[in-house]
Amino acid sequence: MNYQIIASEHTINNFQDYWTKAQYSLAHCGARFRAEIVQQKASNDWRAGLECLLNTKEPQFFAESALYGDGRDWNQTELSILGDISIGVPITVFDDARHYDPDVHAIPFAAELVYTPGALLRNDRGFTPADWEAVITNDQFDSVKFTQLYKRRLIPVFKYIQQRAAQLDKKAIVTIPGLGCGQFSGPFSGELGQRIENVLATILQTLSSELSQIELVYFDPFSECSAKTQHFGAVQLRTRPLLNSYDPRSQLCHPVQFEEEIDDFSQHHLFSLVAWDHVSWPGNDFFGGARATDDGVKAAATDSMLQLTGYKGEYCALRNEYRPSSKYETWGDLVEQYSLRLFVKNLKMYSIS
């Protein structure tokens, strides 16, 4: 398995406090976390506890419709922590990640996915959505709190990408979808793209001097916002919504396909954030065999499943998906067969101040 857990120091400190309380009593824990701790006979070490929390996730789980969040599965504290954790996965890219009729790359290339949860503001079971309290004040959308939430999730990701690109001795292109737009946005459908663009601008304005390896941030909120280019030091923020831009690019195009005017991205390394959720494995829909939603599509378009499970598959150009061996219909079947787990390894913690 080849992936890295990414979080802020703030989030890990919150988990350590929560884990300390769990040492005295499991009564306050959500049912899944409680069962996992008992089943694994987890040690007192907080990393063992964090691994238990990560393994309350299911390979495929639809957070907007199947989640309770009142403790019978997870509680709000656990969901907040899980939502603040990203996973970086070095991958090989086989197609450009268009949802339908993608372009298959003649020569696959190395890149990296960073699975990052967006704000979850919908709960079809009628309970409080996982990130509702994080962005709502007195029943009104709170832009300051929204910015704080996204900074907590995105600043560690940008710092991780900066570090990884430096290790590779490459300049980075970072593609970002509308994290939390679409199905997760609940009553704020159509409003979050602009808010996320504003947060990205705020982050880059503050951090641009620290992000020397990142040359382009390509933000694609699909149908929200309009085409725009902003400059923050040496970092460009290009907003290019797929449905509202001239000559838009899919998010797993080869770096040279993102060139405009005098750009030369021939030696750049692609990092693509993936719109993930709090309670599924990275790839979600694709564990059930569906090339659908951002995480399912990008998992299908790459060998992300190999890196997550340790089992090699093969990209099928006819089906536009990275398939498991013929013994298994889906990657979910393989995970179930071998009782695979997620591991806390190479944990990367970053300051958000």
Question: In this predicted model, what pLDDT tens digit does every residue of 140-188 receive, in sequence order?
Answer: 999 999 999 999 999 999 999 999 999 999 999 999 999 999 999 999 9
Name the strands in the sheet holding 269-276, side by side, starting at the edge strand that comes first in the sequence.
Answer: 228-232, 235-239, 214-220, 172-177, 269-276, 104-117, 86-95, 4-8, 348-350
Alpha-carbon span 309 to 340, nearest angstrom = 7
Structure tokens at 93: 């890219």
Residues 12-31, mean pLDDT to the nearest whole number = 97
- For residue 25, name the pLDDT band (cuts at 50, 70, 90): very high
**Residue with token string 């299911």:** 58
Confidence at 334, pLDDT banded by 50, 70, 90: very high
Confidence of residue 39 (pLDDT cuts 50, 70, 90): very high
| Res 199: pLDDT | 98
For residue 35, give the 3-state DSSP assignment: helix
**pLDDT: which is higher, 248 or 208:** 208
pLDDT in tens, 226-252: 999 999 999 999 999 998 878 889 999
Give the per-residue pLDDT at 43.
86
pLDDT, averaged across the chain:
97
From start to end of 143-213, where are the E strands? 172-177
Mind listing the pLDDT tens digit for each residue in 126-147? 999 999 999 999 999 999 999 9
Model pLDDT for residues 284-300, shown as the tens digit of each residue: 999 999 999 999 999 99
Continuous segment of H or E residues that includes residue 90: strand 86-95
